[in-house]
Structures are given as structure tokens and as C-alpha cells.
Amino acid sequence: MEFTILMYLVPAMIMFGCGIYGFITRKNMIAILISLELMLNAVDINFAVFNRFLFPGQMEGMFFSLFAIGLAAAETALAIAIVINVYRAVRNVDIRQLTKMKF
Amino acid sequence: MELSYTVLVLIIPVFMFLFLGIVGVKLSKKAAGLLGTTAMGITTVIAYAAALTYFFGADQGQVVDGVRQQLTVLDITWLEFTKNLVIKIGVLLDPISAMMLIVISTVSFMVHLYSLGYMDGEKGFQRYYAFLSLFTFSMLGLVLATNIFQMYIFWELVGVSSYLLIGFYYTLPAAVSASKKAFIVTRFADLGFLVGILILSFYTDTFDFITLTSNPQAAISTAGGATFLGCSVMTWALTLIFMGGAGKSAMFPLHIWLPDAMEGPTPVSALIHAATMVVAGVYLVARMFPVYAVDATALDIITVVGAFTAFYAAAVACVQSDIKRVLAFSTISQIAFMITSLGVASPELHHGVGYMASMFHLFTHAMFKALLFLCAGAIIHAVHSNEMSAMGGLRKYMPICHIAFLIGCLAISGIPPFAGFFSKDEILAAAYANSPLWGVWLSVVAGMTAFYMFRLYYKIFWWNNPDYGHHTPHEAPMTMTFPLIFLGLVSIVAGFIPFGEFVTWNREEYIIHLDWTIAGTSIVIALIGIGLATVMYRKENDIPERLANQFRGLWTAAYHRFYMDELYQFITHKIIFARISKPIAWFDRRIIDGTMDLLANVTNSASFAVRRMQSGSVQTYVWFYIVGAVAVAAITIICLI
Amino acid sequence: MESLGSIIAYFIIAIAIIVFSVLAVTSGKILRAATYLLFVLFATAGIYFQIGYEFLGAVQIAVYAGGIMVLFVFSILLTHKPGANAPRLENHKLWLGLSAAVLGAGVCLYSLFEYGSMMVSRMPDNFDINIHQIGQALLSTDKFGYLLPFEAISVLLLACIIGGVVIARKR
């Protein structure tokens, strides 16, 4: 058998779907962040796979994934700083409880 | 240009208006009054200087080949529509505007002075002087306008100041409704004026008076054969413009506001509703006269309206009991004289003397009518009533006022050598030259004028001696009597001014020579009127009562001004309000507003329905986002297939 | 025809991605969810290795699996009570999440299987990207050079570090 592009895209898509599901259903902020990482990761795979299969001589997709990983690191660091700060303020990371700034 | 300082006569009053209007309340009443009067005095001096320089001054191009020139001493472009159609703001000096400068500044200054005494102690004294300044500014701007559009602006400003001054006692319901009435009626007439201006400028491509009047034949012919409802477009334009003039000058049937306008302070009546503003219509027609002169239909309309109004107002004035009302109707009648005089003035007939006569009468009438009103003010000031029944025998208490009023009455009746004789005689000469019908008609009205003026005079100063009780009438203070004396002197001598040398329709010199047949007849008619009044009203008797009973129907109708107000009331309330306005109001409230309400309600309920979507929960938003993206993708796929 | 070893490796990776992704969002314990995420990240790195992007795979392991996971674990330990009596994670709005995920996946799958045939399905062989080329491209200013984004992201990371410190420090 041969590796086709679909063989890589389908798992990435399932990963992305799980990310969506988790992002919507989770109540814990860190769990939501985990779902977010899943989605980002799925997109990274897509970039790399498309680059490899369609434009093997170039590196744009790979570099995009590279920078996306860097951005994900930055974003996670910031998000976790916020989560810790919120936890310090209300001793909780459940988003249903965090309605103080809503109104 | 040497005469460009004339613009100061506009700047000083408008500055005074702003100053008194803004900081007036901070000043004491005396200071505000003196300030306003001083400023008006300076304005008067400048106006006189400008007018006298124009008429007599060293040659600055005023007179070329015996024709007085129209000088545009200030010219600023304001709006530029096309290359030709430009609205300018400027100052135009020519014989009639210079003459009006003298009239307005004289009467205005006298009224300023007089008001110091008359309005003493009134609430809102500073406001009063601010409004007087505003009026003076607007009126001077009106007469100095270089183009019809500028005139229209000042025309409306004059209307506003008239409104403000009539409603000066804004706590009295009568004054408030009178001011509203004056404003609405004149506004309605101004609608015609505006439409007329638009038609005229559309066809002639200019607003400028000089361009319009220097070659009226060309202006008319550019309209070509355009006709509307059987009349040429130019006739419509001129008639509509005259409608504006008729509204301001209280011509029948737009006269109804002027008698009510007497609710204002009496000096205001003297200034605005006798001497200056109400002659704006005459001035307008005179200003446009060369254009009117080529359109016989428009002139005929003017003549008929003027002649009818003169008679109608004189008839009403004969039976009124409120002295200011009598004077108001007398004013209407006299202005109608001027209008008729313009109407019968064809350039071919008798050197177009009607134009000169009209302006002459405007000049003399301003002086003696202002005098009569100021006298009436002094009388009202003394007896605290407008009704003749509260007066009588006042000659013993108020000698100066008595003499001044007598001079005014003799002047308006046309007895030589008083001012009114000369000007009225010229009007009659012009009328006879046009058609014997108008001549006889105006002679009859002149006789009625003499009758009702002397009826007024006798009822006030002779008749009986009512019991004034502990409150004896006394002569007015000096600030009030001085204007009376001054205007009285002017009324005596003004007739000897060789007016034809200054103001004629073609601005060439014209020597007035009295036609003694006409003059003699008019003197006899006036004497008959006076004699009749003497017989009926000199001493208390029952002749007037018996006569009134004999012609009960006529008398009542005249007393109620031939039911013109009721007719207007009926038309506006029963027909316009009930039949037209109400259905429109219903349509507006139910259909238009209803549609808007429906839209608002639908939006409101839709918002309530979807308000839960805006929950603040990011997770829900993500769901919407994903579903939206999926929907877009699905649509794209479906479309691709 | 690929070698048997790579086929087996692919299936292990694919199954690991699917299974651990699902577990990561359904697990009741937060620490376990993080661990499953770690496995997914490793499997992703496996994909990169398999299609020949060794450098990307290394970065994936170093940054994601190494750096970010440590952050996750730290924050979990800071905000949750450890031990057996830790509260279980509960999910809510299950239908909302499920519908969005299934709808999205459905549209994507449909379009993939309907139009995926247009793409080259076989992996091209002429492939020779080595670390030397990547380094050149990353620090080059020519066409296809990435120096500017590289600098930009380094500044961003710096800003992020400062921002994280500012947000999280005690007042």
C-alpha cells in the first residue's frame, strides 16, 4: 500500500474535531487550553502534510508549522499566567464561576 | 467708494442688538435705554450724512446727464450658483433707498427717544431696546439691498422683529396670539414672494435689481411665451412678488394681522406698523417698478387690490372705537393709496407721476402717522385705556399733544399747507390721469379719511368730559413730547420739499406743479369730511347713535371689519384644519408612525428572542462560529456542484 | 510500495492520535488529560518524522512536548489539589460540542473524499531537505528567507515572557 494524503489528513481532522468538542464542553480552563493545543496541532499537521505532498521542493508549510509552534508556546505561557492569576483571585478555574466581569 | 461708510448704519444697530441682547440684563434700565438711543442717534447721523451726500454732495457720479445713478457702494459675493446667477450682499444707494434711509432713521430715532419715557419702568426694558435695534438693522438692510434675495433675507428679519415686538408683553394672551397671527399671515404671503423670486430669477438669470430694472424689456422677453393658466410667467412672478408685498403692507385680504398687531407697545406700532415696515411692500413694488411697468396685467392687479383696500379700510376705520385700531385701519388705507398710486403710474401717463407721488406720500405719511401714533401713545399713557369712551375733553389737560394730533389729522386729511396735502394731491393727479374711475374712487376715500380722522380727534379731545376721578390726565414727560413737537414740525413743512427733484421713476428731475382743479376738489372733499365730523362729534349728542341705528346692519358689519377675521377663522378651522389637516394627521399618526412603530416593535421582539445568544460565554460563541463556518462551507460545496 | 515497518509505524501513529485525542477531551482527570495530550504531541512528531521533516519533529518534541507540557503540568499542580480526592472533570453542553464537532468533521470529510482525488495522492520521492537548507532559509533575507518572521517571533516571545511575569507576579 502507499501513503496517500488522506491518510494523514483524516487523523488530523479527528484531532481537530476533538479539539472543538473539548473546547465547547470543558469547564476547567486548563482543560480548555488542552483542547486548544489539540486544534493548533491538527492545523500544524495539515500545513506540513500539504507542503510535503503538493510542494515537496519548498519549505513554506514547514516553516509555518515551525512558527505556529513558537506562537503556541507564547500563547500557552500567557494563558497559563492568566489562569494562575485568576486562580489566585477566586481560588477557582471553573469558567462558570468566572462571571464577575460579565456585567 | 466715498459713500461706503453707509454700511455702518447696518453694523451699529446689529452690534447694539447683540450687545443689549446678550449683556443687556446686566445693565440698568436707564443705561440700556440711553445706550440704545445714543447708538440710534449715531446711526441717524450717518444715515443723514449718506443720504444728503447722495442728493446734494460733491459729484461722485451720482448724477449723469440729469439722471440720478444707482450706486452700489458695497458689493460682496456670497453664493455663486452659476456664472450669472450669483447672490451678493451689498449696499445700494439710489433716490428711494436714500429717501428711506432718512425716513427710517428719523422715525426710529424719535421712537427710541419716545420709548425712554413711554416704556419707563416696564419689565424687559433692555430686551425692548435690543429688539428695536434688531428692527432698525433689518429695515435698513431691506431698503439698502442690492438684490432681491438679500431683500428677502432682511424681509424675513423684519418679520421676526415685528413678531418679537408685537409679542413684547408675552404674558398677555392677546399679544401672543396677535404676534403669532402677524407672523403666520406675513409668512404665508412671503411664500408667494419666494416663489415669485424663484420664477423671476429662473427666467431672468439674475437677482440683481440694477440688472433687472435697467433693461426690463429684455428680462421679460427671456421668459418668452411661457404661460401658466392663461397668464404669462412673468405676470405670475410679479404678482407673486406683489403678494409678499401685500402681506407686509397689509393689503386686502392679507390685512388681518395689522389691527391685531396693535397689541404691541404703542411706539412699536408707530415705528413698525405705521411708518416703516408696513411700507416695505410699497418699497418693493417701487424697487421693481421698471419691471412692473412693462407688465400691464400685474399693474392692474396692484391697482385693484390697492383701491379696494383703501376703501375697505377707510369704511372700517369710520366705526372703530379703539383709537389704535382706527389708526391701524387708517394706515392700511393710506398704504393702499401708495400702492394704488404705483398701480396707476404708467410711464406714458403724466410723466409716471404716480411713482413719485407714491414715494412722496410714503415719506410724508411716515412722518404724520408716526406722529399720530406717538400722540395716541401719550394719550393712552395718560388715561390708561385704548377705548375712545374713556377719553374726551383731553385738550385742556394735554395741550401739546392736542396741537400735535391736530397737525397730524390735518396732514392726513390733506389740508394745505400740511404735508399730506401735497403728496395726496399728486396721487389723485396720477389716478385721474390714469382713469377718472380711480380718481373719483380715491377722492371719496380721501373724504372718508378726513371724516374718520376728525371723528377720532373730536372724540378724544372734545366730545364730553368723562369723570377722570382722582387720576387727572397730564402732559407726557419731555422725552415723549419732544418727538411729538419734532414730528409735528416735519409734518407741517415736509410738503414743501421739492420731492420730484429727488425721486422719480426714471430718476430724472420732475417739477411738481399743482393742478388746482384736482387740488381744489380734494380740499373741498376733505373740508366736507371734516365738517361732517364736526357736526357729529364736536359735542356730545345722539346723531352718531341714531345714524348707527338707522344703518344697523351696515354699522355692525363695519364694526366687525366686515367679518374678515371670522371668514379666515372659518376657512382655516372648518375647512383647512378639519377637512385637510386632520386626515393628513391621521394618516401620519396611524400609517407612517404605525409603520415605524411596527418596525421598531419587530426589532425589539426579535432582539428579545435572540438576546440569549449574547451570553458572554466564549464556548457558545465558538459553537456559532463553527456552525457558521460549516454553513458557509456547505453552501460553497452545494454551489460548486 | 512502502516498507512494512513504516506501515506499522503509520498505523500506530494514526491510532495513537485518534485514541489519545478522544481521551484527552473526555478524561475525567486533568493530569491524565494532559498526559494524553503529551501522547498526541509525540504522535504528531512521529508524523513529521515519517514524512521527512526531522527538524520539525525535533522542534515539536522540544517545544511542545518539552516546554509547553511542563507549563501545563506546573499550572495543573498549582491550581488543583493532588491525590485521589481531586475533583473529577465534568463536561457540560455535550450536545453543543458534539454537534459542532460532528458537523465540522462531516463537512471536512465529505469534501476530502469527494474532491481529495484531485490532489496528488502519492508522496513524492524527490525530497531532499536537510538541516543546512533550513538554517540558511531561516536566517536569510533573500526570497524564501525567513529572517524577518524569525526576529518578529523572537520579539513576540520576549514580550510574552514579560507579559507572563507581569500578569502572574504577586502584588
pLDDT band at C1 (very low <50, low <70, confident <90, very high): low
Of the candidates B620, B622, B630, the beta carbon closest to that of C103 is on: B630
Domain boundaries, chain A: 6-93
CB atoms C96 and B627 under 8 Å: no
pLDDT band at A64 (very low <50, low <70, confident <90, very high): very high
What pLDDT is stored for residue B300 in this prediction?
Answer: 87
pTM for the structure as a whole: 0.68
d(CA C127, CA C121): 16
Hey, which residues 126-155 in chain C have their CB within 8 Å of chain A? 126-127, 129, 133-134, 137-138, 144, 146, 149, 153
What pLDDT is stored for residue C120 in this prediction?
Answer: 58
List residues in chain A touching B: CB distance below 8 A: 20, 23-25, 32, 95, 99, 102
Per-residue burial over B455-486, b if 16 or more Cβ lie within 10 Å, else e, is: bbbbbbbbbeeeebeeeebeebeebbbbbbeb
Amino acid at B566: E
The CA-atom distances, in angstroms, between B554 and each of B283, B312, B331, C125 are 34, 13, 22, 122
What pLDDT is stored for residue B347 in this prediction?
Answer: 72
Give the minimum alpha-carbon distance from C114 to chain A in angstroms, rounded to a whole number: 11
What ipTM was estimated for this complex?
0.91
Give the minimum alpha-carbon distance from B634 to chain A in angstroms, rounded to a whole number: 17
How many CB atoms sit inside 10 A of residue B8's CB?
17
Contacts of B634 in chain C (CB under 8 A): 107
Task: Cis check for the bond before B436: say yes or no (omega within 30 of 0).
Answer: no
What pLDDT is stored for residue C116 in this prediction?
Answer: 66
* % of residues, chain C, pLDDT over 90: 27
- pLDDT tens, residue by residue, C138-171: 888 888 888 998 999 899 889 888 888 887 777 6
Give the minimum alpha-carbon distance from B626 to chain A in angstroms, rounded to a whole number: 9
What pLDDT is stored for residue B573 in this prediction?
Answer: 80
Of the candidates A9, A35, A85, the beta carbon closest to that of C168 is on: A85
Hey, which residues 50-89 in chain C have their CB within 8 Å of chain A? 51-53, 55-56, 59-60, 63-64, 67-68, 71-72, 74-76, 78-80, 89
Contacts of A99 in chain B (CB under 8 A): 616
Closest CA to B303 of B446, B185, B442, B412: B442
The C-alpha cell of C29 is what?
Answer: 482527570
d(CA C141, CA C144): 8
- pLDDT tens, residue by residue, B134-192: 999 999 999 988 888 889 999 999 999 999 988 888 888 888 888 888 898 889 899 98
Of the candidates A24, A95, A99, the beta carbon closest to that of B622 is on: A24
**Which positions ≥6 away from B359 have C-beta within 8 Å?**
B96, B99, B286, B499, B503
Assess C112–B contact: CB distance below 8 Å, yes or no. Answer: no
Return the CATH number of the domain spanning residue range A6-93.
1.10.287.3510
Residue C21 has pLDDT above 90, yes or no: yes
DSSP string computed for B71-108? EEEEEEEEEESSSS-EEEEEEEE-HHHHHHHHHHHHHH
CB atoms A15 and C160 under 8 Å: no
The C-alpha cell of B546 is what?
Answer: 341714531
What pLDDT is stored for residue A44 in this prediction?
Answer: 93
Q: Is the dihedral of CA B229, B234, B237, B243 positive or negative?
A: negative
Q: Please name the residue of chain C whose CA is at the shortest distance from the CA of residue A92.
A: C79
Of the candidates B626, B633, B634, the beta carbon closest to that of C100 is on: B626
Assess B634–C contact: CB distance below 8 Å, yes or no. Answer: yes
Cβ proximity of B159 and B187 under 8 Å: yes
3-state DSSP assignment of residue B130: helix
CA atoms within 13 A on the CB side of B121: 3
pLDDT band at C47 (very low <50, low <70, confident <90, very high): very high
Mean per-residue pLDDT for C98-126? 79
- pLDDT tens, residue by residue, B429-478: 888 888 888 888 888 888 888 888 888 888 888 777 766 666 677 777 78
The rounded mean pLDDT for chain A is: 87
Of the candidates B623, B630, B633, the beta carbon closest to that of C96 is on: B623
Q: Which residue has the cell 372703530?
A: B320
pLDDT band at A17 (very low <50, low <70, confident <90, very high): very high
C contact test, residue of B623, B624, B638, B641 with most C CBs within 10 A: B623
pLDDT band at C87 (very low <50, low <70, confident <90, very high): low
To which H or E segment does residue B212 belong?
helix B209-214
* % of residues, chain A, pLDDT over 90: 37
- Give the residue ranges of chain B where pLDDT is below 50: none
d(CA B276, CA B268): 10
Per the model's pLDDT, the better-predicted residue between B461 and C106 turns out to be: C106
Amino acid at C91: N
